[in-house]
Every structure is written in structure tokens, then in C-alpha cells.
Amino acid sequence: MTQETALLSTSPVTGEMNAPVRKVFVKTYGCQMNVYDSDRMSDALSRDGYVATDVLEEADFVLLNTCHIREKAAEKVYSELGRLRELKKEKAREGREMLIGVAGCVAQAEGNEILRRAPAVDLVIGPQTYHRLPEALKRARTGERIVETEYAIEDKFDYLPAPDKAKTRSRGVTAFLTVQEGCDKFCTFCVVPYTRGAEVSRPVAQIIAEAEKLVEAGVREITLLGQNVNAWHGVGADEREWGLGDLLRRLGEVEGVARLRYTTSHPRDMDDSLIEAHRSMAKLMPYLHLPVQSGSDRILKAMNRRHTAAEYLALVERIRTAQPDLALSGDFIVGFPGETEADFEDTLRLVEAVNYAQAFSFKYSTRPGTPGAELKDQVPEDVKAKRLERLQALLTKQQRGFAEACVGREIDVLLEKPGRLPGQLVGRSPWLQPVNVDAKASQIGDIIKVRITKAGPNSLFAEMIEEPRARSLTA
């Protein structure tokens, strides 16, 4: 078979040749919501006959789903576009077309500017309009350069096909589900309110329907996503106003859902009902990503986080009382404008007081258009770098301590995928750590009991504990 015919598909009904199969290569940057959005964009394109490829050179359409959160994230996109321009030229010399699209938060923030800076780009599409991607791509194929960054009036979720069975299975036993998008908090360092727009919650029925589809496709663990996921609210079947705690309880009743998680939460939106869910729901994993950014009240105020360090610590205490086994994760920014050594030490003190199982920490990055960019008293890069190093040393020590404290414990692990060694699978602990364990491939999707035997730098090692029932069957 020639290369040409291999790329043609035959209709199973008529036996006639259809249009050649087009291939799309999607590269995702940034947060989990971008991962979710990339899947939805691939779904939307699959209706137009595109199949996903992970071989860049094969692609007829390359889509970068981008992140604008820090300067480095945005710059990465432009350097990637430079490389793609060369590939596009090379393909053109061979008489093959390759279109290039930019989606996500850089697309929303920069719009037309991308077409100016990156002449190889054919299509720019913001996160609120990605259901229009197939249409935009058709127009781009005619040679038009497209920018779609208006906030759409129609609901993008309405237009997207539900995850289909065969495809989602290949995506694994865990899945993301966006329940809330956008942000009204306007922290002074952050671009998200500008790139993702105002806070919007998806309706309960839509979320339940999507969860049921995921379960049907073999998913066992669902992570609810939102830029401020715990600001989610909706009207329940009982006509009451629901918060995230109520939604989690309802999702816990969906048959086949074994584990639930949610991310990212804002401390201001942790209400009693959500904390209660951590106390009473076995399916809600004892893990919480609760960014604080700084431990200094002065800096928290300048960041417009609208809580103090003491309030955050008191909140952590309340959640831990409800769920003593809770692992906490956080985000930190060092070197926000005006941050002094004393402010930074307050952050170290807060970290000491909380003891994080996991954390993400960053040097403050000036984002054009945010209030933080206007502030005088920017902290020099070398000071930021030194503070980041000190903070990360402490956080790494806490992370190690947490992993080591797991050794000897008997825990449940959801088996996700083949491991690096034959006969090994990788699963997830309740606290989101990868766990390596000897198990059969047929056990992917099972939740098994293991004993943790060793803690590596990024994962745990474990041995399976035989189920008492299995033992009696073989005895």
C-alpha cells in the first residue's frame, strides 16, 4: 500500500473512498483545564474527520494550547512557533500543507498580536470559543488568517460531543471534568480573570451527564476542575442552591464513580458544606490544593487575596479536624512587589506551620495589564531567585517527610497504567502520589490494597496485600 492510500479511509457502509484523513497534533501547556480543553478540541475536530497524532511531522494541523500565567510560559509559545515555521516551510517544499493554530490563554490575551509576531500562524482561538474551531479551521484552509477571541454567547459545552467510549478509555481510568471556569477574584498578579473571563458554573444536570458518560467509558476517578472550583454553585434537583459540597455528594451517588477530587480552590470559598464532605465522604480523596501565595498579611493584602495568614491557618485547622488524614498542597509566589525579607520570612513561617505534602512555587512574573505590573518597588531578580531557592528547600523537605511517613502504611491504590518495568503498574495513592506495584495489566482500573515499602524522590513503591477473599478462594 502506498503512503497515499494508507491515509485514505474507506466508508464501511458504501465502500467508497472518503476524503483523506487529516491529522491533528495538539500540544498542551499550562493547567489541567487546558488539558481538558485540548481533549474537547480534539473531540470537536474528530467530527470533521481529524484524527489525533503524536507525531508532529505527520500533522496537517498543529494546535498549541497555551498558557499566559507567567512570562516564561508565554515566551515558550513563541519559540515553539519559530520552530514550527521551519517545519511548515519544509513541508511546503514537499507540497504538503500544515496549518498552525494557537489556542488557550496566550491566544485570548494577545489575539492579533500573535499573527503579527508569528507569521506562520493561521488561526488564533480563545478558550471561550473553541467549539467554533472546526468552522474556523475550514475558513483557515482557504487562506484566511483567523482570530476568534470574542466571548461567545452560546455555551461552548453545549456544542461539544460527549467523550465517546472508545476514545476515553484510551485516556485512562482518571479524567478531568470542568465544572466552573473563569475568575472574579482579580488577584493583582494574575492574568486569569482577563484570559478566562468571569466566573461561570456549569449546571448540575450537564455535569452529572458528563460524569455518567465518563464512567461508562471506564473512568473511575474524576477530578472536578475550575479556576476557583469551590466557587461553583448551581441549583440542585431539589431546587435548592447547591455549592461544591452538594455537587460532590451527588457525584458520589453516580454508580461506578470510585474517587473524587477537585482543584483549584480559593481559601475564601471553602464553606462548611464542602468541609463536611471531607469529613463524611469516603470517595472524596483526602487531598486539597489550597494556594496561599504568601504568609505575609501585608503582601496578601497587596495581592488582593482577601484573607490573612491567620485566617488561612485557622481554615487549614478546621479542614484537618474534619479529615485528619488530609494532605495539603499549595502555590506560592516569592518576590511580589514590595516583599521584604521580613515578609518572606512570614511565608517560611506559614509553610512551617502548615507542613505541605506537595507544593508549587514561583518567582513573581510581571504580567502586562494586571495591577501588579504598575506597582513600584519591584523585587530584583537575584533576590527573587534566592528566596525561591530557600522556600523550595523547605517545601522539598516537607514533601520528602510526607512521602517517608507513608512507608509501612497500608493504603488503597487505583491502578492506572503500565509501569516502567515489565509486570509493574503505576497507580495513585489517595494523596495523588504515583505508586509502583507488581500487578497484572488486566488489573488497570482496580483499586487494590497495598503496603508502601519505599519512598523514592517522585513516587512510592509498594507490595500488594492479598485480599482475604482471594486467599480463601485459592486455599
Q: Does 227 bind ligand SF4 (CB under 6 A)?
A: yes
Least distance in Å: CB of 52 to ligand F3S? 20
**Which C-beta is closer to ligand SF4: that of 323 or that of 370?**
370
The H or E element that residue 166 is part of is helix 165-171
Give burial (CB, 10 Å; 0-12/13-18/19+) of 302.
buried
Of 196 and 259, CB closest to ligand SF4: 196
Nearest CA to 123 out of 169, 177, 178, 66 is that of 66
- Our finding on whether 365 is near ligand SAH (CB under 6 A) is yes
161 with 43: CB under 8 angstroms? yes
> Binding of ligand SAH at residue 189 (CB under 6 A)?
yes
CA distance 236 to 213: 19
- Cβ atoms within 10 Å of 346's Cβ, excluding its own: 19
How many whole angstroms from its chain centre is CA 439? 28
Minimum CB distance to ligand F3S, residue 229 (Å):
12
Q: Which of 185, 301, 307, 386 binds ligand SF4 (CB under 6 A)?
A: 185
- State which residue, 323 or 347, has the beta carbon closest to ligand SF4: 347
Please report, as residue ranges, which positions from 297 to 336 form the binding site for ligand SAH (by CB under 6 A).
331, 333
Contact 457, 444 (CB under 8 A): no
Q: Rounded CA gap, 403 and 390, in Å?
A: 20
Which of 334, 331, 332 lies closest to 379, judged by CA?
Answer: 334
| Among positions 129, 228, 294, 296, the unique one binding ligand SF4 when judged by CB under 6 A | 228
User: Per rule CB under 6 A, is residue 228 in the interface with ligand SAH?
Assistant: yes
For ligand SAH, which residue of 163, 243, 291, 295 counts as binding (CB under 6 A)?
291
Which CB atom, from 29 or from 344, has the smaller least distance to ligand F3S?
29
| Residue 362 interacting with ligand SAH (CB under 6 A) | yes
Residue 50: partners with Cβ closer than 8 Å, 6 or more residues away: 21, 22, 23, 24, 42, 60, 61
**Does residue 352 contact residue 316 with C-beta atoms inside 8 Å?**
no
Which stretches of 104-179 are assigned E, i.e. beta strand? 123-125, 146-148, 174-178
Contact 106, 66 (CB under 8 A): yes
State the residues that interact with ligand F3S by CB under 6 A: 30-31, 33-34, 67-69, 104-105, 191-192, 195-196, 227
Q: Which listed option, ligand F3S, ligand SF4, ligand SAH, none, makes contact with residue 320 (CB within 5 to 8 Å by class)?
A: none
**Among 69, 173, 251, 260, contact with ligand SAH (rule: CB under 6 A):** 69
Does residue 190 touch ligand SF4 according to CB under 6 A? yes
Strands (E), 292-409: 327-334, 358-363
| Residue 348 · residue 295 · CB < 8 Å | yes
Rounded Cα distance between 337 and 348, Å, is 18
Three cell numbers, residue 30: 499550562
Q: Which of 190, 207, 359, 439 binds ligand SAH (CB under 6 A)?
A: 190
Contact set for ligand SF4, span 258-297 (CB under 6 A): 266
Minimal distance in Å, beta carbon 389 to ligand SF4? Answer: 23
Contacts for 10 with CB less than 8 Å, ≥ 6 apart:
16, 17, 18
Whole-number minimum distance, CB 112 to ligand SAH, in Å?
A: 23
Asked whether position 236 contacts ligand SF4 by CB under 6 A, the answer is no
- The window from 27-35, 104-112, 183-191, 443-451 that contacts ligand SF4 (CB under 6 A) reads 183-191
Task: Return left, alpha or beta for 346; rule: phi > 0 is left, psi -120 to 50 is alpha, else beta.
Answer: alpha
Residue among 111 and 427 whose Cβ is closer to ligand F3S = 111
70 touches ligand SAH by CB under 6 A: yes
Give me Rg for the CA atoms of the chain: 24
Task: Return the residue of 20, 134, 172, 193 that touches ligand SF4, per CB under 6 A.
Answer: 193
Tell me if 186 contacts ligand SF4 by CB under 6 A.
yes
Distance of alpha carbon 237 from the chain centroid = 28
Beta carbons of 25 and 58 less than 8 angstroms apart = yes
Please pick, from the candidates 123, 183, 222, 277, the single residue that binds ligand SF4 as defined by CB under 6 A.
Answer: 183
Choice from 23, 132, 249, 266 touching ligand SAH (CB under 6 A): 266
Q: Does 344 bind ligand SAH (CB under 6 A)?
A: no
Number of residues this chain uses to bind ligand SF4 (CB under 6 A): 10
Q: Note the residues at the interface with ligand SF4 (CB under 6 A).
A: 183, 185-187, 190, 192-193, 227-228, 266
Q: Note the residues at the interface with ligand SAH (CB under 6 A).
A: 69-70, 189-190, 192, 227-228, 264, 266, 291, 293, 331, 333, 362, 364-365, 367
